Structure 1
Amino acid sequence: MTIHFPEGFWWGAAASGPQTEGRLTNDNKGTSIWDHWYTTNPEKFFQGQGPGQTTQVLTHFQEDLRCMEEIGFNSFRTSIQWSRLIPKGRGKVDPEAVAFYHQYFDEMLARGIEPFVNLYHFDMPMTLQNEGGWLNRETVTAFGDYAKICFDLFGDKVKHWFTQNEPIVPVEMGYLYQQHYPAVVDLSMAVQVGYHEALASALAIQKFRQSACDGQIGIILNLTPTYPKDPQDPADQQAAVLADAFFNRSFLDPAVKGTFPKELVAILDDLGIRPVTEAADLTVIRDNTVDLLGVNYYQPRRVQQKRSPKQEQQPMPEDYFDYYDWPDKKINPYRGWEIYEKGIYDTLINLRDNYGNIPCFISENGMGVEDEGRFKNASGMIEDDYRIQFVKDHLRYVHQAIEEGAHCLGYHMWAATDNWSWLNAFKNRYGFISIDLETQERTIKQSGYWFKEVIQENGF
């Protein structure tokens, strides 16, 4: 069966500034939380590889974009680094950063690649973090000012803006599970951080609509569909509702509906940890919902009713459900994540039925594999059949959802090139384009050439 996607479908991939740009000797970029954490705790980073090198996009972006053009991308998402553009998070704008981003976006446009630009990808400027980061109300204001500067500087070139990537991640990893800086465990702090992120996103949208820019503005959310162990058991169903409220709807509802999920608000009231707010906040959130939603989909979440003891020291989301290990799951052994292709369909149908069928696109979906060099053929190309199969299986479900009325406008894989990944560095490779870290040579993988055919045919 041949599958065809709608005309004008967005084909491409994604990346982020902090995972690709790197640092140059004596460049003016300010310190981000990742730069700081690597300086203080390099042992936390896989093989000691920090954010300074990454894939050196500052000096190799033309090569990356040449490969993307060869594959046929019509769009590509990356992010501006707040700490590069405004080294201290507020105040002086760095002219070298302005020049770089203009060059970068110009090169994309010259190659027929539409820039999709995100404003925040977990890279808080350390100056602001020292004042509390997302815990501090002033950071919301600083983010709005930063957003306006970006719209003013680059709005003539960028027509698809996104306020934040996966805002649940700073909440989870920074303030619950200790995998990102500042690595504390405090649900009340996590709630305040999430609230300020949601408010900052709405404020940036307000600034965009007050600007002279045309185009659209949205947000990128990692929507992990939640499945109850027994769909017929009310207790398992309720566990799934609460897990979904914590990890999906906490940002999906305010971004699309302008409200927060009542189940989550009830839990916070019960615990006495509602965030600190100001009178006009909820109006700003209500009136500044997104035009477009990016959906990052990697894996499902499977839960059941709470049977294990609650944590005694600190309230946690897991006080309201237990995770369930589905015995029939497929696993990516390198990442440890379940591969469940139908989850991407269920997510798009949920958006169709419960979120006004908001215009959306798959903004990330991908498969990280360790030691991909062992799959290199005699000509030096990596034969990643597994990635082709992974993308193909997910695209079938994307197409099915579109056929059933979901308003999905595109598919971006994570990632365009292999890139540095937070604490895992280059352990797992994700890209359509391989990067030799010693020589910085770029080589398109077999999956990239397969994707080229998909784009040419607008299907497969």
Structure 2
Amino acid sequence: MKQFLWGSATASYQCEGAWREDDKLESMWDHYLHEFQLENGDVASDFYHRFDEDLKMAKEGGQNSFRFSLSWPRIIKNPQGEVNEKGIAFYRSVLKACHHYGLVPNVTIYHWDLPQYLEAQGGWQNEETCQAFLDYAKVCFDYFHDLVDIWVTFNEPRWFIFNGYFIGNYPPGCHDVDMTIKGAFHVMYASALAVKVFKEGKYPGKIGIVHSYTPVNGIDETVETRIAMRYADNYCNNWVLDTAALGEIPIDMLGKLSSEGHDLSYMTPDKIAVIKHHTVDFIGLNYYARALVKPYTTGETTLIVNNKGKEGKGTSKTIVKGWFEQVSDPNTKKTEWDTEIYPQGLYEGILNAWHKYHLPIYITENGIGVSEDVTVEQVQDPYRIEFMKEHIEAILKAKEEGADVRGYYAWSAFDLYSWKNGCEKRYGLVAIDFEDQLKRKPKASYYWYKDFISKH
């Protein structure tokens, strides 16, 4: 029986820092955050210089796996695709350190930091980005295959595509439905291309995709609500998971988009064939909350994400015109950032995904973001311990009922830059004092997790 992987997760832009070191290029996030003079990840958690300390801490916390992402602009140094040997050397050092500390590396090829030169050429609107991603992925397989057995093509296509092209609060900051649809298709096509070259190259290990999983519940059992739930499931989940795991883009979703007048002509038979025949070996599910929905009533599409914490509490809103409306359950707890705390959704969601796809599942992110005072000797975070305990219990229950769940990764290994929320929104098991030389201090939850792992 394979060992269950107990780990924690990070992402390159959110933790590495060293944004201009060792020939790293500018990423779309570097460009966007500097242009608008917003809090950024120039230094972040300084994982680039302190990875050995961080990996050792994960090992000492009882963990046996570490999830992280590679930075495309750190590995490919120009539009011609030339490889940056310094970037390769850095990641080989990280991977060797993982093995030294007994941590199974779970490696994501793309966690949002597109090279800015590709963004300047249209980013995910441009089909050439798919080919560039394929070339980059092959470089990763060639240089790291001896050290990696778990590969992920993309982290959360829905999140970076919807926020970048639909909601507009992430780069490139657009509000356009057709750009959203096209970007979404290109990412899923690029993912399938990477799976194709991985399997044809007979590289060791398995390859999957990680999805921001949002199981859908309805307010009642009426036919209208069930239709709204199907629309919401297509919007939240199926266009990623069905496409990656089954090789099928939901046909009713395509029919709905076509009936609304959207041009889908770029979804050509040759690209559809690549998607159909090159599916993933496993799925990673990042779970934070479910979606509770009702049938669409009135009004324009409204998508508001709370990036302000307490100041913006209660402002989050999702209405997709003609599809569904998301509602807030008055009986459940929410974080300062409006994220519902609902472990039952993870239990139900795992079973749904298992029965639908029959693929191994990793819970690749799960955690709670809060504002914390890290100047104290040890952060006491009973709310994080309670959150993790309830969600891990939900996973183990689903596992007992037959779901093939193979790992759990807390988000995150340590405090890091949280995109548009800056460093105030803290998820880490280890506190980082960004005001005091980036000191690392394990929180109470770090020791709780260590103890929990030792008992399981």
The answer, yes or no, to whether TM exceeds 0.5 is yes
Question: Does the 8 Å CA contact 1:308/1:322 hold for their aligned counterparts?
Answer: no
Shifted more, 210-219 versus 248-257: the winner is 210-219
Aligned residue number for residue 53 of structure 1: 43
Aligned residue number for residue 343 of structure 1: 345
Q: What is the deviation of 1:361?
A: 1.1
Q: What is the deviation of 1:302?
A: 1.2
Matches of 2:147 and 2:164, distance apart in 1: 33
TM-score, normalised to structure 2, is 0.93
Q: Secondary structure of 2:153's match?
A: strand
Matches of 2:279 and 2:252, distance apart in 1: 20
Q: What is the deviation of 1:89?
A: 5.3
Deviations 1:354-400 (A, max 9, x none): 22x210111000001102437x4xxx111111111100001111111
Deviations 1:10-51 (A, max 9, x none): 100111111111126553111111100122101xx3xxx212
Matches of 1:454 and 1:172, distance apart in 2: 36
Q: Does 1:245 align with 2:234?
A: yes
Aligned residue number for residue 329 of structure 1: 332
Aligned residue number for residue 454 of structure 2: 456
Q: Does 1:236 align with 2:225?
A: yes
Give the alignment's Cα RMSD to 1 decimal: 1.5
Q: 1:106 to 1:370 in 2, by over 3 A?
A: same
Flag as ranges the 4+ runs of structure 1 deviating above 2 A: 24-27, 87-90, 309-312, 316-319, 371-374
Deviations 1:283-306 (A, max 9, x none): 111111110110000011111011
Aligned residue number for residue 430 of structure 1: 427
Aligned residue number for residue 36 of structure 1: 31
Q: What is the deviation of 1:440?
A: 1.6
Q: 1:140 to 1:25 in 2, by over 3 A?
A: closer
Q: Secondary structure of 2:340's match?
A: strand
Question: Does the 8 Å CA contact 2:66/2:105 hold for their aligned counterparts?
Answer: yes
Q: 1:411 to 1:318 in 2, by over 3 A?
A: farther
Question: Does the 8 Å CA contact 1:120/1:165 hold for their aligned counterparts?
Answer: yes
- Alignment of structure 1 residues 388-407 onto 2, 5 Å: 388-407=385-404
Q: 1:25 to 1:305 in 2, by over 3 A?
A: closer
Q: 1:456 to 1:90 in 2, by over 3 A?
A: farther
Question: Does the 8 Å CA contact 1:90/1:142 hold for their aligned counterparts?
Answer: no
Deviations 1:324-354 (A, max 9, x none): 221212111x222110010101111101222
Question: Does the 8 Å CA contact 1:76/1:116 hold for their aligned counterparts?
Answer: yes
Matches of 2:22 and 2:144, distance apart in 1: 21
Aligned residue number for residue 381 of structure 1: 378
Q: Secondary structure of 1:369's match?
A: coil
State which of 414, 418, 428 in structure 2 corresponds to 1:417.
Answer: 414
Q: Secondary structure of 2:416's match?
A: coil
Q: 1:331 to 1:151 in 2, by over 3 A?
A: same
Q: Does 1:70 align with 2:71?
A: no
Q: Secondary structure of 1:342's match?
A: helix
Deviations 1:188-233 (A, max 9, x none): 1100000000000000011111224210000000110111111x11
Question: Does the 8 Å CA contact 1:372/1:429 hold for their aligned counterparts?
Answer: no
Q: What is the deviation of 1:90?
A: 4.7
Letter in 2 for 1:260: I
Q: What is the deviation of 1:274?
A: 4.0
Question: Does the 8 Å CA contact 1:361/1:409 hold for their aligned counterparts?
Answer: yes
- Alignment of structure 1 residues 13-162 onto 2, 5 Å: 13-23=8-18, 26-42=21-37, 45=38, 49-88=39-78, 90-162=80-152
Question: Does the 8 Å CA contact 2:298/2:321 hold for their aligned counterparts?
Answer: no
Matches of 2:241 and 2:419, distance apart in 1: 24
Q: What is the deviation of 1:432?
A: 0.9
Aligned residue number for residue 368 of structure 1: 369
Question: Does the 8 Å CA contact 2:193/2:278 hold for their aligned counterparts?
Answer: yes
Letter in 2 for 1:400: K
- Alignment of structure 1 residues 179-258 onto 2, 5 Å: 179-230=169-220, 232-258=221-247
Letter in 1 for 2:367: G
Shifted more, 220-229 versus 268-277: the winner is 268-277
Matched positions, count: 438
Matches of 2:292 and 2:195, distance apart in 1: 33
Letter in 1 for 2:10: A
Deviations 1:409-430 (A, max 9, x none): 1110100011101111111111
Question: Does the 8 Å CA contact 1:88/1:128 hold for their aligned counterparts?
Answer: no
Aligned residue number for residue 312 of structure 2: none
Letter in 1 for 2:409: H
Question: Does the 8 Å CA contact 1:87/1:125 hold for their aligned counterparts?
Answer: no
Matches of 2:263 and 2:373, distance apart in 1: 46
Aligned residue number for residue 261 of structure 1: 250
Q: Does 1:358 align with 2:359?
A: yes
Matches of 1:64 and 1:180, distance apart in 2: 28
Aligned residue number for residue 3 of structure 1: none
Shifted more, 196-205 versus 418-427: the winner is 418-427
Say which structure, 1 or 2, has more relative contact order (CA 8 Å, 6+ apart): 1
**Unmatched segments (≥5 aa) in structure 2:** 303-318
Matches of 1:195 and 1:367, distance apart in 2: 30
